[in-house]
Structure 1
């Protein structure tokens, strides 16, 4: 299906759209940016403006076509498909890598994805949640209302961050973290159960999820098994 773009929306040069996207009133998308299919991008959303770095240029990219030079125009933004990006969400372009958002995410009103962040699939970012630059949010993570991520923080797959929490360090896979500073308070049992993991397997995973033991030999649904193994094998110095 064709894209439906409100006449007041502004799309700069270098913006590539897939099919069946909805782009609402007064949205601004600055290139270089590549957006997939079936996204709902609400009123006043801003995608692709420069990262918040005093030393970088701030070109008028909605009027002047970018030349694709990372030193001048930045590394841009890539967004997957079927995301719901609500009113006043902002996504900044990268400074040393492409700011990347996966597919099937839900980004609530006034949330912010900063420069050089990597956001996986099926992520939920609640209203007024804010990331610092260079963060990595893995698949299925959930940031509560008003949560704040320090620069370079890593949030594991399926992790839940409580509302108003300030995250200063890595949060493990399928754990729950709350407070300021945020501390892990338990395992995201509900999230694992919804992915088809039974109680016995969740109990067996507990020590690994809490960082006390290695990954146990358990049987997990195919997509979850792949995700868990990727998290377990991740480089610890990705930043």
Structure 2
């Protein structure tokens, strides 16, 4: 199906759109940006403006084509499919790598993703969440209202961060964190149970993801894959 773009929206040069996207009033999307299909992008969203860097150029990309090759220069924005992006959401261009957002996410009002971030699939960012530059939010994570993520932080797959928390380091997978600074208070039992993980497997998983002890228990294939990738990147251990 064709994209439905409100006449007040601004779509700059260098923006590639898939199919069946809804783009609301006064949204601004500038390139280089690649957006997949079936996304809902609400009013006043801003996607692809320059990184927050005093020394970086700030081109008026809504007027002029972007300068440089994103494949070589490591900037741009990449967004997948099936996301629900609510009003006043914003995401900045990358500087060393594209800023990437996966598929099937839900991004509430006024959430912000800074430059060079990587956001996985099925992520939820609550209203007024701010994710600092070069951070990673892995698939299935859920960040509550007003969470602040310091730059270069890592939030593991399936983690839940309570509203108003300040993440200053790494959050282990499938845990619940709260406070300022955020501290782990337990496992995301509800989220794991909904994905078919037994109470016994959750009990075995807790020392594995928090202390780096024991072995990975038997889990649904999707979750096992995420945790194996997390461990492969060296994130497993004490927090």
TM-score class, shorter-chain normalisation, is: over 0.9
How many residues align? The count is 235
- Are the aligned partners of 1:50 and 1:74 in contact in 2 as well (CA < 8 Å)? no
Partner of 1:234: 233
CA-to-aligned-CA distance 1:167-218 (integer Å, 9 cap, x gap): 10100000111000111111101111111101111111111122240433x2
RMSD: 1.6
TM-score (norm. length: structure 1): 0.95
Deviation at 1:74, TM superposition (A): 6.8
> In the alignment, is the contact (CA less than 8 A) between 1:74 and 1:93 conserved in 2?
no
Give the corresponding residue for 1:18. 18
Q: Distance in 1 between matches of 2:211 and 2:119?
A: 23
Unaligned runs of 5+ in 1: none
User: Would the aligned equivalents of 1:148 and 1:165 in 2 still touch at CA under 8 Å?
Assistant: yes
Moved more, 40-49 or 224-233: 224-233
Q: Secondary structure at the match of 1:223?
A: helix
1:143 is aligned to 143
The CA distance in 2 between the partners of 1:56 and 1:206, in whole Å, is 43
Alignment-derived partner of residue 9 in structure 1: 9
Contact 1:215/1:232 (8 A) holds in 2? no
Match of 1:62?
Answer: 62
The whole-number CA distance in structure 1 between the counterparts of 2:146 and 2:107 is 13
Other-structure match for 2:221? 222
Q: C-alpha separation between the residues in 2 aligned to 1:52 and 1:6?
A: 28
Pairs within 5 Å for 1:202-221: 202-216=202-216, 218-221=217-220
1:81-136, CA deviations, whole angstroms, 9 ceiling, x for partnerless residues?
00000000000010100000000000000000000000000000000010110000
* 1:78-227 matches, cutoff 5 A: 78-216=78-216, 218-227=217-226
Structure 2, unpaired ranges of 5+: none
1:231 Cα deviation (Å)? 1.1
**Aligned residue number for residue 39 of structure 2:** 39
